Amino acid sequence: MMFRRLLLSSAFSLSASVLALPDFSGVWMLSGPGSESEILLTEEGRRLQWEYDLLTDDPSLLCVPASVARIWANPNSGIKIELSDDAVLISYELFDLRRKIPIGDVSVMPVLPSTKNLSGTAFSEMGSSVAQLENGRLIIESRNHTIGYIRTSRGIPQSSNTVAFEELDIEEGVLHITHTYIDDTLYEKPIVLEYVFIKTEESDIFLYECSDADYDWFNKLNASAQELN
Amino acid sequence: MKSLMFLVACLCMPFFINAHHSTNANFTQEIISIDGVIERVRFQNPHASVLIKNTNHQGAETFWLIESGARTTLERLGISLDVLKVGSKVTATGRKGRRQYTMYLREIELADGTVFVPQPDLN
């Protein structure tokens, strides 16, 4: 009897904590360009940035997510959030990514990447993540990244040392996300990125079915044409 | 008021560009026009595109890849590329790409003078 009461009580407090949360669920769309803190790279960070060629090295060209921050920051692309008692599922329209994040402390941090596409390919560029609910905010911590780029346009890198936090907060129906990237091998100080999202009336995201955007076929076509010219 | 609206539109413009790969980084601000014959139309993600064969005065041929927004972005706008027929003569105008012979499409003028603008927010 005592055990049942205890069980009911914990179930109630868990439900109450979830119920007290703002409604993160739904399909969201990026609104506005967002903002970023000053980015100061270390020597190693500058070396990786210098080696990066956006025309050939952007992972997006192969339908691969460059980083968590890059995937959130894609305009005109739906992002669906589903929150349950023990996990958060974030479905990104871009590249058909599905990111399943357990709720708990770092002890439940998975070793394997938390993100896969619909074909089942896992993406370590997105790291392994765990989520916590704190004061009405959803906080996601990610580690175990492989090399990626938090800014593909400028080649701002991430590494296996990078720890990323996403803080999701809702104010007046608008979703605010603050990304904090910490990596003392690459950044002189943490990089903070802020984005705003508006909830759409869509109930689900579109199927993306990404095709590699490689330009080899096109370059070969022109090379052949020039041989004939 | 009009100038204020224009300023706001200009400030917002780069954001509205759909950017699977960063459009502002992959394309310059230089506006160019290319005429030619449509060889291929692809309505897909991450970028819808039109392949145009341009023939210069000396008869030399060059292929231009004219990229647009993602299929899903265009679908949300209710836009399809059905008006662009393989074999038809067109003039494409848009931002010159950093890759040789590429462009980010603003508008295509068809042979009958009709102008097709897939993403009016960009103009």
Tokens of residue A219, six digits: 């370059």
Q: In the predicted model, what is the mean pLDDT of chain A?
A: 90
Structure tokens of A11? 């179930």
Greater model confidence, A220 or B19: A220
Provide the pLDDT for residue A224.
81
Task: Please state, in angstroms and rounded to a whole number, the distance separating the CA atoms of residues A114 and A121.
Answer: 11
- The stretch B37-45 carries a mean pLDDT of 95
Cβ-defined contact of A76 to B45 (cutoff 8 Å): no
Q: Is the pLDDT of residue A149 over 60?
A: yes
Residue of A30, A58, A72, A77 best to disrupt the B interface, most CBs of B under 10 A: A77
Mean pLDDT of the region A74-84: 94
Min mean pLDDT across A119-123, B85-89, B118-122 is at B118-122
Determine, for residues A74 and B19 on separate chains, whether the beta-carbon distance falls below 8 Å. Answer: yes
pTM: 0.85
Average pLDDT estimate for A99-109: 94
Residue type at A31 in one-letter notation? S
Nearest CA in chain A to B61: A225
pLDDT attached to residue A21: 74
Confidence tier at A24 by pLDDT (50, 70, 90): very high
Q: Which of residues 81-100 of B touch A (CB under 8 A)?
A: 98-100
- With a CB cutoff of 8 Å and minimum separation 6, the contacts of A182 are A162, A163, A164, A165, A190
Residues of chain B found within 8 Å of residue A209, distances taken between Cβ atoms? 44-45
A-B contacts at Cβ under 8 angstroms:
88
Query: Is residue A173 scored above 80 in pLDDT?
Result: yes
What's the rounded Cα separation, in Å, for the pair A131 and A113? 14
Is A190 a residue whose pLDDT tops 80?
yes
